[in-house]
């Protein structure tokens, strides 16, 4: 199966994207090309354990980085049944 990974990586490098962004994109691109859907079954979903949540104090050094990245970010919120109307269902 032919993919366009090399061409895509080259274009992203030319645009100055960081290696981590390129590597992450190529990882998920390879999954899509191989036929993976990214579907998560309800049985595999579990609540987050409180021990897995970082405290605010340990995250506070990242506040300036987070605020700086906001101007280059998009936020998507699915409210009030919008997910259902878009075809997102639980099984």
Mean pLDDT on 3-20 = 93
Mean pLDDT on 60-79 = 85
Q: Please state, in angstroms and rounded to a whole number, the distance separating the CA atoms of residues 57 and 53.
A: 12
Q: Which residue has the tokens 């079954």?
A: 41
Report the share of the chain in percent with pLDDT over 90: 41
Query: For the purposes of burial, counting CB atoms within 10 Å of the CB of 70, is it exposed (0-12), middle (13-18) or buried (19 or more)?
Result: exposed
Selection from 36, 3, 9, 7 nearest residue 23 by Cα: 9
């Amino acid at each position: 199966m032919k993919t366009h990974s090399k061409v895509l990586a080259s274009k992203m490098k030319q645009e100055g994207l960081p290696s981590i962004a390129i590597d992450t994109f190529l990882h998920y691109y390879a999954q899509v090309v191989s036929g993976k859907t990214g579907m998560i079954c309800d049985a595999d979903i579990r609540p987050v354990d409180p021990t897995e949540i970082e405290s605010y104090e340990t995250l506070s050094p990242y506040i300036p980085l987070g605020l700086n990245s906001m101007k280059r970010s998009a936020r998507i919120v699915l409210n009030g049944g919008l997910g259902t109307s878009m075809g997102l269902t639980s099984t």
